[in-house]
Amino acid sequence: MRNPKPTDLQICRNKYGTVYVRKVPYTTFIPSKAQAKHRVMFGMVSKMATGKKMEGKIPPSAELIQKAFKGIKYPDNWKVQHKKKWEIMIEKLYQQQMAERIKQTIKQIAEQYKIVK
């Protein structure tokens, strides 16, 4: 299976049977942390069923996945909160100011105790 591109389209069907085309969701390419963990766990659990024979009504990989994911719930605010540009700029400015203050303090201490570099 190839990796989908952001311009790919997806054919969907609603509950009334109407077929429509839509853009592939952006979370396909940029999953949240919870989605990424879930996808990795899903793959690991399904690989554990390799070579097992079907005993019940569903395939062994589906049984393992069903048992592994039973009861897992994600919080309502699972989406990643992205910072706005002005917030990032303020943080960088604050870090620069703190770095300058630390340098000045070290310089003062060095002068006070006559420490040579």
Whose CA is closest to 35, among 25, 43, 27? 27
Query: Bigger pLDDT: 26 or 100?
Result: 100
- pLDDT of 3 reads 63
Which residues have CB under 8 Å from 48's CB, separation 6+? 64
Q: What is the mean pLDDT of the chain?
A: 80
Is residue 24 within 8 A of residue 10, CB to CB? The reply is yes
* Cα–Cα distance measured from residue 102 to residue 2, given in angstroms and rounded to the nearest whole number: 51
Whether the predicted pLDDT of 72 surpasses 50: yes
* Cα–Cα distance measured from residue 82 to residue 109, given in angstroms and rounded to the nearest whole number: 40
* Cα–Cα distance measured from residue 39 to residue 28, given in angstroms and rounded to the nearest whole number: 11
Which residues have CB under 8 Å from 108's CB, separation 6+? none
pLDDT band at 1 (very low <50, low <70, confident <90, very high): very low
Long-range contact list for 83-86, CB < 8 A, 24+ apart? none
Which 3 state secondary structure label does DSSP give 72? coil
What average pLDDT does range 68-80 have in this prediction? 68
